[in-house]
Amino acid sequence: MAALDHEKLIAYVEKMPAFPKSVQQVVHLSSDLNASAKDIVHVIECDPVMTVKILKTINSAFYGLPNKITSVQRAVVHIGLNTIKNLALAVAAMGMLNRKNKAHFNTDDFLLHALTTAAISRMLAERMGLSSSECSDGFVAGLLHDFGKAVFAEFMPEEFRSALEKSKALQLPLQQTELEFIGLNHAQAGKILAEKWSLSEPLSDAIAHHHSPEVGSNPLRDCIFAANQISKHLHFGNAGNPVIEPFPDFMITRFGLPLVLLLDELGDLHAVENEALAFVRG
Amino acid sequence: MKFKFWGVRGSIPTPGPNTVKYGGNTTCIEIRTNDNDLIILDAGTGIHALAQTLLREMPVKAHIFITHTHWDHIQGLPFFIPIFIPNNQIKIYGGLDPVTNESINRALSVQLQYSFFPIREAQLNARMDYFTIKPGEPIHIGAAKITPIVLSHPVLNFGYRIDCDDRSLFFTGDYEPQLNIHDPQDEEYAEFQTYVDAKRQEVILAMKGVDALIIDSSYTSAEYASKQGWGHGTYDSAIKLAADAQVKKLFFTHHEPTRSDTELDVLFQTLLKNNPATGFDLMLAQEGAEVSL
């Protein structure tokens, strides 16, 4: 067992490049004088690595935000588009995540899972009647909930591969086998990173407890918990966890419906999948 | 407190017969407190003429606040003669660049390199100090309180509010209020607009009730249509901000480099005609003009 410690985890993320498609898009859009601001912002918002690196920077005490922000759009309004664009370019200059890693973890499928979970999580937050900024937190929480896995795949591929294989073979929750091979699971890693990035308490809590719905009460966490199960149920991408967790009773109360009926009510979600696919494979 | 404009031109110095009245030097504003503490906002080419006047009052203790590191706001730093003279104390304040992670000392050190300037940084004889300052955290210099706020521009830009001797002044540096990047029919439009509105309120609060608001107004509204994203404001956006912040005097600055004295005069007369009852004074910033508050 390798036992990944906090410092190492944080150092890995510092070195972590972004996803191939967004790196290409950011470079392409930044060399086009006529590119629209919203296109550039959209690319950044769909890449977990670019999103966290920008939020981490803008939330630091040097830029005077009284409350920590979780929205790239808000960062644009605060400091100006060009600075955000150049922060994204700096991330792009670090290279791109390997599509083929030693963990045999498909990063396209991972991103598809993250993006669909994000979009569904925002839909659920809207359905719950949360405020517009909480709904946008719902998207960010979904986008980042499995971030730890991307770090494991890039920097601890052998250990992560063992965790993936055992989870698949024995149909065990991935967070359980990660603990065995890495000494830390992706929810715990996500919590450490979210705190390091100064994400808001509900967001950090949602990422930390997206596999432990029994802990505390957090509507944002419930949104990503449910969105995560829905995305897995519909096979939108794949983030390596074969287990679909049932809704606990309080979750059924929260949404007024169990998973299957909630799915019915949300209607055809393939538009969500197609939009994410267009971004990932484009 | 009083202040004097040493440079009011945007982007590039524009000497010549067409800019004699308003001046061709780039941004520099000298502020003197009642106790004669010296605060300088930006170090464009205007700082060179200011430096000449300081040679009479050695040793100099100067506090230079840089709004942002675009060339027209730092170009005069190597020509600020007091930096070469022993016993002077020069303190330079600015933000931490989020993209390069570099502090404000780079604004000078990057210019003092073999290829660009004959004197090296190690040869500066004054005592040089650099301070990384944070928005919302005031700096106190004698009786003056200087508070930075982030104002959007293509590079990190601070606006500064100076409160001193029961008077107040706000300078934007270069500032283009961020517009909504979405079209009204887009799903994201409304949410983005809440951020735009919230930021505007933050800016208005920072400028609230100042005796003098000195604001980047490079363009007319008609010109702005083709210059969105270039990082500058308009005369109209300046007037609206000044009205909302209930300021006493509004100074338009960062004059567009191709704008002649005659054009500025015509523009200004039109502005006065179109804005007859603002409740505050409108003025064009003019190199050499001194204002007591």
Q: Which member of A62, A87, A132 has the closest CB to residue B134?
A: A62
Query: Which residues in chain A are closer than 8 Å to B149, comparing Cβ atoms?
Result: 64
Do A80 and B231 make contact, defined as CB atoms within 8 angstroms?
yes
| pLDDT tens by residue, B39-77 | 999 999 999 999 999 999 999 999 999 999 999 999 999
| pLDDT tens by residue, A206-242 | 999 999 999 999 999 999 999 999 999 999 999 999 9
Read off the pLDDT of each residue in B149-172 and give the average, rounded to a whole number: 98
Report for A30-34, A56-60, A247-251, B92-96: range of highest mean pLDDT: B92-96
Closest CA to B151 of B40, B231, B223, B245: B231
HEC per residue, chain B: CEEEEEECECCCCCCCHHHCCCCCCECEEEEECCCCCEEEECCCCCHHHHHHHHHHHCCCEEEEECCCCCHHHCCCHHHCHHHHCCCCEEEEEECCCCCCCCCCHHHHHCCCCCCCCCCCHHHCCCEEEEEECCCCCCEEECCEEEEEEECCCCCCCEEEEEEECCEEEEECCCCCCCCCCCCCCCCCHHHHHHHHHHHHHHHHHHHCCCCEEEEECCECHHHHCCCCCCCCCEHHHHHHHHHHCCCCEEEEECECCCCCHHHHHHHHHHHHHHCCCCCCEEEECCCCCEEEC
B174 → chain A, closest CA residue: A80
**Helix, strand, or coil here: A18?**
strand
Beta strands in A8-79 (DSSP E): none
Read off the pLDDT of each residue in A161-177 and give the average, rounded to a whole number: 97
Rg of chain B taking only CA atoms, in angstroms: 19
Give the C-alpha separation, B181 to A81, whole Å: 10
**How many angstroms separate the CA of residue A102 from the nearest CA in chain B?**
32
What residues in chain B have their Cβ under 8 A from chain A's Cβ atoms?
95-96, 98-99, 132, 134-137, 148-150, 152-157, 176, 178, 181-182, 186, 188, 190-192, 194-196, 198-199, 229, 231
| pLDDT tens by residue, B278-289 | 999 999 999 999
Do A62 and B229 make contact, defined as CB atoms within 8 angstroms?
no
pLDDT beyond 90 at A132: no
Q: Which member of A38, A86, A133 has the closest CB to residue B182?
A: A38
Do A83 and B156 make contact, defined as CB atoms within 8 angstroms?
yes
Give the C-alpha separation, A112 to A51, whole Å: 16
| pLDDT tens by residue, B180-201 | 999 999 989 999 999 999 999 9
**How many angstroms separate the CA of residue A48 from the nearest CA in chain B?**
18
Q: Which member of B99, B181, B194 has the closest CB to residue A132?
A: B194
Query: Which residues in chain A are closer than 8 Å to B228, comparing Cβ atoms?
Result: none
CB A19, CB A111: distance < 8 Å:
yes
Question: Which of A75-89, A190-204, B80-94 shows the lowest mean pLDDT across its residues?
Answer: A190-204
Dihedral angle over CA of A16, A21, A22, A24, nearest 10: 100
Q: Which of A74, A77, A83, A123 to mutate to test the interface with B (most CBs of B within 10 A)?
A: A77
pLDDT beyond 70 at A2: no
**How many angstroms separate the CA of residue A172 from the nearest CA in chain B?**
39
Do A38 and B150 make contact, defined as CB atoms within 8 angstroms?
no
Query: Which residues in chain A are closer than 8 Å to B96, comparing Cβ atoms?
Result: 62
Q: Which member of B96, B155, B191 has the closest CB to residue A82?
A: B155
| pLDDT tens by residue, A27-49 | 999 999 889 999 999 999 999 99
Read off the pLDDT of each residue in B4-32 and give the average, rounded to a whole number: 98
Q: Which member of B137, B150, B155 has the closest CB to residue A78?
A: B150
- Pairing between strand B144-150 and B139-141? antiparallel
**How many angstroms separate the CA of residue B231 from the nearest CA in chain A?**
9
Do A82 and B191 make contact, defined as CB atoms within 8 angstroms?
no
pTM for this structure? 0.94
Give the C-alpha separation, B178 to A76, whole Å: 8
Rg of chain A taking only CA atoms, in angstroms: 18
pLDDT, position A1: 44
| pLDDT tens by residue, B223-270 | 999 999 999 999 999 999 999 999 999 999 999 999 999 999 999 999
Give the C-alpha separation, B212 to A95, whole Å: 48
Query: Which residues in chain B are closer than 8 Å to A58, comparing Cβ atoms?
Result: 98
Do B96 and A136 make contact, defined as CB atoms within 8 angstroms?
no
Q: Which member of A57, A77, A87 has the closest CB to residue B178?
A: A77
Domains of chain B (ranges; CATH) run 2-292 (3.60.15.10)
Token pair 């799903």 is found at: B187
| pLDDT tens by residue, A82-123 | 999 999 999 999 999 988 899 999 999 999 999 999 999 999
